[in-house]
């Protein structure tokens, strides 16, 4: 509802002084000689401030295309192959007549990369997870061999029949032997 309709109904929460200011502002907006009054949103806007984090001379490369995962992995493998070949050639050029110094270079050659799967096994112990919830499961039920997270899961495991316990164990990949 506008201020005028509130006044006619007699329920306007604003003072009559405020209505006079609104009317004056409306006539000021219609007067072409007075400068436009910016709204509160325009006054608080940061759009007209300079943005130093943007490069003013940046233009987007329209020829650049996105690559799928297969293309990215292929380029990574090719880059690693070229790097290995370059290092091998450098080693051959540096190699002495008797071939000393080759052992330390071989260790450097075997460093795992992001895409190589020949990484050494972890020195940390393997994590154990709850067979029911998938959360970390530090406890094991002695009767069924199921791993569980806490007391409430253990109560549920005690209520399982032998077939359900075998199914949970086989899902983990363990040969189910239920006592």
Q: Do 179 and 130 share a domain, yes or no?
A: yes
Q: Is residue 29 part of a domain?
A: yes
Q: Do 94 and 130 share a domain, yes or no?
A: no
Digit-coded pLDDT (tens) for 83-129: 989 988 888 888 765 555 555 545 555 666 666 666 678 888 989 99
Question: CA 171, CA 165: separation in Å to the nearest integer?
Answer: 10
Place of tokens 């004056």: 24
Number of domains within the chain: 3
Give me the helix-helix angle, 69-94 and 102-109, nearest 10°. Answer: 170
Q: Is residue 24 part of a domain?
A: yes
Question: CA 172, CA 130: separation in Å to the nearest integer?
Answer: 10
Q: Is residue 130 part of a domain?
A: yes
Residue 6 pLDDT exceeds 50: no
Q: Do 179 and 133 share a domain, yes or no?
A: yes
Q: Do 143 and 179 share a domain, yes or no?
A: yes
Using alpha carbons only, give the angle 96, 101, 105 rounded to the nearest 5 degrees. Answer: 120
Digit-coded pLDDT (tens) for 13-50: 555 555 555 555 555 555 567 788 888 888 888 888 87
Q: Is residue 120 part of a domain?
A: no
- In this prediction the pTM is 0.36
């Amino acid at each position: 509802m506008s201020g005028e309709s509130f006044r006619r109904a007699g329920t306007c929460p604003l003072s009559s002084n405020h209505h006079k200011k609104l009317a004056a502002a409306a006539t000021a907006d219609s007067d072409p000689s007075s400068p436009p009054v910016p709204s509160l949103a325009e006054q608080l806007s940061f759009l007209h401030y300079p943005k130093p984090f943007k490069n003013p001379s940046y233009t987007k490369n329209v020829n650049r295309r996105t690559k799928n995962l297969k293309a990215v992995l292929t380029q990574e493998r090719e880059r690693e192959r070229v790097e290995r070949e370059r290092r091998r050639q450098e080693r051959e050029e540096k190699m002495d007549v008797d071939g000393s110094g080759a052992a330390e270079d071989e260790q450097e050659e075997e460093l795992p990369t992001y895409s190589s799967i020949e990484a050494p096994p972890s020195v940390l112990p393997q994590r154990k997870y709850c067979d029911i919830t998938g959360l970390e499961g530090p406890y094991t039920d002695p009767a069924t061999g199921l791993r569980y997270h806490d007391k409430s899961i253990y109560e549920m495991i005690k209520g399982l029949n032998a077939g359900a316990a075998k199914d949970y164990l086989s899902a983990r990949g363990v040969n189910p032997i239920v006592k």
